[in-house]
Structure 1
Amino acid sequence: MPAAAYPEFRLGSVLATSFTGTLSERHGHPVERIPVPQRLVDWLVVSGLAVDSCTAEQLGLAKELREAVHAAATAAASGEPLPADAVRVINERSAQGRAVAVLTSEGEREWRLSSPSSVEDALGVIAADAIGIIAGERDGRLALCASPTCRAAFFDTSRSRTRRWCEMNTCGNREKKARYLANRRADADHRKDSG
């Protein structure tokens, strides 16, 4: 199936929480954005962790990591204890990765994987990013999307640290549109009752 046949990726600026967004609308009608190994390859490429292939087993490891990061980030954002199973998975993936950070001539950080097919190295980078975020090592705060159908954990780096939605273009606009339509219906009902 061509890439255009799958839902678009919801890419954020924070690797670990962007990765959890490969499954969105968790409390509504879930949208799986990496249903097949090739879609994981596509996501890793656009996220700066280029691999050339992925097996079904590696996709399973990736989804397990995604759910562990989601569970741990959600708990951290809610001020709850981190789930032991999630911590175990995140730590295992971090320890199994052998990627190294290199500095490009443009002054950017780039990840070098041990081989072009090492999805495990890419997952190690994602796990390490999750550890840094959940441990509070980065400037920002974990928060949960205000959309009742989404509730994704995201990393808020806005100046005020008061972002309400994981993405304004999706969840934020949908919630604002729903409020607007509800207000219009309420106004119409009020006019009908008073007329």
Structure 2
Amino acid sequence: MASEFPDFRLGAVLATSFTGTLSERHGTPVERIPTPQRLVDWLAVNGLAVGSCTPAQLDLARELRESIHAAATAAALQKSLPKAAVRVINDCSFQGRAAAILTTKGTRLWRLSSPASVEDALSVIAADAIDIIAGERDGQLALCASATCRAAFFDTSQSRSRRWCDMNTCGNRQKKARFRANHGKPSAAAGSS
């Protein structure tokens, strides 16, 4: 069933990976969580398994996603954070019940309430967004250089000079476009190999 939907674009930072569930925001948008079950799938892949999701919870998740995107974009541009976005992020952070758990490998996992709800998972995502937007982690928010994407991402590279939200998608498209521009358009036979 999942094959009928676009693949998830997973990243190392939970909050910005979540905003990537809507890509190509300035082109032809690609919704990667179009159904409640697809949100359940995304949460499970990211270690936040919940049993079910209602349409209202999917709406709340999308509202949080767009609020994180708006606040992260403003932070990347060093502008004031939108008040409405901050309110949604804070409300979602406060509404869930989740606890950070330290593993014996020295990593953090999240334990959601039992039974786990979408609100619990969203509280973890909101808390992650607060950490990166508030500058609590080593790295900086940046915007994808793709004119059709412009996704906010968290750059942890040493030089803080990453240009693409994802090298396998936006970066690769740019490299291909630059190659075609520099070498002329390949023939149909050459492009099919």
TM-score bracket, shorter-length normalisation: over 0.9
Pair 1:100 & 2:96 matched: no
**Superposition map of 1:31-110 within 5 A:** 31-110=30-109
Cα separation, 2, equivalents of 1:116 and 1:155: 31
Q: Secondary structure at the match of 2:141?
A: strand
Paired-residue identity, % = 75
Deviation at 1:20, TM superposition (A): 0.0
Match of 2:137? 138
Q: Deviations over 1:95-126 (max 9, x none)?
A: 10110111233333211111234110100000
Aligned to 1:169: 168
CA distance in 1, matches of 2:60, 2:19: 13
Larger Rg: 1
Query: 5+ residue gaps in structure 1?
Result: 187-195
Q: Give 3-state SS (helix, strand or coil) of 1:89's partner.
A: helix
Corresponding residue for residue 188 of structure 2:
none
Following the alignment from structure 2 to structure 1, what is the Cα–Cα distance between the partners of residues 43 and 54?
Answer: 14
Partner of 1:20: 19
2:38 partner amino acid: R
Q: Secondary structure at the match of 1:54?
A: coil
Gaps of 5+ in 2: 186-193
**2: CA distance, partners of 1:101 / 1:46:** 18
The amino acid across from 1:69 in the alignment is: I
State how far apart, in whole Å, the 2-side matches of 1:8 and 1:121 are. 24
Provide the aligned length of Structure 1 versus Structure 2.
185
Q: CA deviation at 1:63?
A: 0.1
> What secondary structure is seen at the aligned counterpart in 2 of 1:142?
strand
Query: In the TM superposition, what whole-angstrom CA distance separates every residue of 1:1-44 from its partner, at most 9, and x where no partner exists?
Result: x1111000000000000000000000011000000000000000
**Aligned-partner Cα distance in 2 for 1:57–1:115:** 20
Q: What SS does structure 1 have at the residue aligned with 2:184? A: helix
In structure 2, the residue matched to 1:5 is 4
Deviation at 1:52, TM superposition (A): 1.5
Larger CA deviation: 98-107 vs 81-90: 98-107
Per-residue displacement from partner, 1:53-80 (whole Å, max 9, x unpaired)? 1111100000000000000000000111
Kindly report the root-mean-square deviation, in angstroms, between the aligned alpha carbons of the 2 structures: 1.1
Q: Distance in 2 between matches of 1:85 and 1:125?
A: 19
TM-score, normalization by structure 1: 0.92
TM-score with structure 2 length normalisation?
0.93
Q: Matches of 2:55 and 2:82 in 1, distance apart? A: 26
Query: Which residues of 2 match residues 113-192 of structure 1 at below 5 A?
Result: 113-185=112-184
Q: Which moved more, 1:172-181 or 1:146-155?
A: 172-181
